[in-house]
Amino acid sequence: MFQKLTFYTLLMVIIPVIAWLSGWQWSGDENVIGIVDYPLYWLTETGSVPYAIITCVLLMLWLMYLTRQRYSWLLVGAICAGSVIGTQAIKTVAKHTFAEPRPYVVAMMGENTEQFYDLTRQARGELVAAHYQDSPYPLIAKHRENETGYSFPSGHTIFSVSWLLVFAGLLAGLTGQAVVFAKIFAISWSALMLISRLRLGMHYPIDLFISTLIAWAFHLVLFIWLVPYLENWTLFRKRG
């Protein structure tokens, strides 16, 4: 299991590493490519509240179906819920601990980012809306208006990589076209989620890198120690 989870994690780590090695930096909306960035906007919304709730339900039901012969639906549900709740709790604590501004906030406020974060969340949203009121990319501007929290770590990255690792862990050893398709989907969706956070000016490569490692460490504990323990519980034991 360690090797499997590490392999999928390395696939995601490649994205921020390539950004570093290429010297890529977000430089504002003048480099927005509509045919690329608008689809990335819609994809990144699958990890944003309230749409993330729908994403969680759909992915959990999909995993319950794919693993129906191996795990009880209660165990799959517990693993999915524990993954999302646990990693997002870590993200929330880390964001308020490190309090790093987002790239678009730095571009908008310059050296006055502390003043921005001293405002209430509603006031921040209003300030962002006013700044981008003439933006030719209203959907992207609206996304920033709703995403005025801190940058490090990336909640969207932790969310998507966590689901990727849940797919990897639960589907380990299973075969068939449906399983292969599910793994390819999870890899593609997660990778595009990471790319979207960079392209939309929401995160730095370091945010993605550390967030991916946080998800990896959490799921090592989940699948190597916790899941085998839970499988012995009568409540979670597969019947029939």
How many CB atoms lie under 10 A from the CB of residue 214? Answer: 20
CA–CA gap between residue 174 and residue 235 (Å, rounded): 23
Catalytic residue among 96, 131, 143, 203: 203
User: Is the pLDDT confidence value at 11 over 90?
Assistant: yes
Instruction: Give percent helix, percent strand, percent coil of the chain, each to the nearest 5.
Output: 75, 0, 25
CA 157 – CA 47 distance, rounded (Å): 9
123-172: per-residue pLDDT in tens? 999 999 999 999 888 999 999 999 999 999 999 999 999 999 999 999 99
Q: What is the largest CA-CA distance in the chain?
A: 63
Q: Are 201 and 103 in contact (CB under 8 A)?
A: yes
Structural domain count of the chain: 1
Q: Is residue 96 part of a domain?
A: yes
Which of the two residues, 13 and 36, has the higher pLDDT score? 13
90 within a domain of the structure (yes/no): yes
User: Which residue is catalytic, options 131, 143, 156, 219?
Assistant: 156
User: For 75-106, how does the pLDDT look when each residue is reduced to its tens digit (9 = 90+)?
Assistant: 999 999 999 999 999 999 999 999 999 999 99
The stretch 17-29 carries a mean pLDDT of 92
So what's the pLDDT on residue 128?
A: 96
Q: Is residue 43 part of a domain?
A: yes
* Residue 84 identity: V
Q: C-alpha dihedral over 107, 109, 111, 114, to 10 degrees?
A: -120
Q: Is 96 labeled as catalytic in the residue annotation?
A: no
The answer to whether 163 touches 186, Cβ cutoff 8 Å, is: yes
Residue 134 resides in a domain: no
**Could you please report the per-residue DSSP string of 46-109?**
TTSTTHHHHHHHHHHHHHHHHTTTTS-HHHHHHHHHHHHHHHHHHHHHHHHHH-PPPHHHHHHH
pLDDT over 90, % of the chain: 87
Residues 181-208: what's their mean pLDDT? Answer: 97
Tell me the CATH number at 179. Answer: 1.20.144.10
> Does residue 217 sit within a domain?
yes
Cα(138)–Cα(152) distance, rounded to whole angstroms? 25
- Catalytic residue check, 203: yes
**Residue 93 sits in which domain range?**
1-100+150-230
pLDDT of residue 185: 98
- The reply to whether 203 falls in a domain is yes
Q: Is the pLDDT of residue 240 over 60?
A: no
Q: What is the mean pLDDT of residues 164-187?
A: 97
pLDDT for residue 238: 73
pLDDT for the residue 230: 86
30 — pLDDT class (breaks 50, 70, 90): confident
User: What integer pLDDT is reported at residue 232 of this predicted model?
Assistant: 81
Q: Quote the pLDDT of residue 239.
A: 66
Distance CA 192, CA 36 (A): 11
Q: In which band, very low, low, confident or very high, does the pLDDT at 121 lie, cut at 50, 70 and 90?
A: very high
The answer to the question of residue 145 being in a domain is no
Q: What is the pLDDT of residues 54-81, one digit of tens each?
A: 999 999 999 999 999 999 999 999 999 9
